[in-house]
Amino acid sequence: MALAPVVPGGSTTERVLTMVLVDAINPRYADRVEPFVRILVSYCEQATARPAGKRTWGVPDQMEPNRAP
């Protein structure tokens, strides 16, 4: 439950992704796809909730010269 909290009715992303994957894999496996989608969506939402790290730009290092074969 901590990894994939249950949203009453499911989130829109979860419902759409479940429909797409169930249709792509096989409708008989819907009961197996739904928990996987719930965890996948939860991980994606956690990743987008993190603030982006500070990125800096610097001059690239010198490359080694090409060597003759």
Q: What pLDDT is recorded for position 3? A: 52
CB atoms within 10 A of CB 18: 20
pLDDT tens digits, residue range 23-62? 888 889 888 888 888 888 877 777 666 666 677 777 878 8
Domain regions of the chain by residue span = 12-49
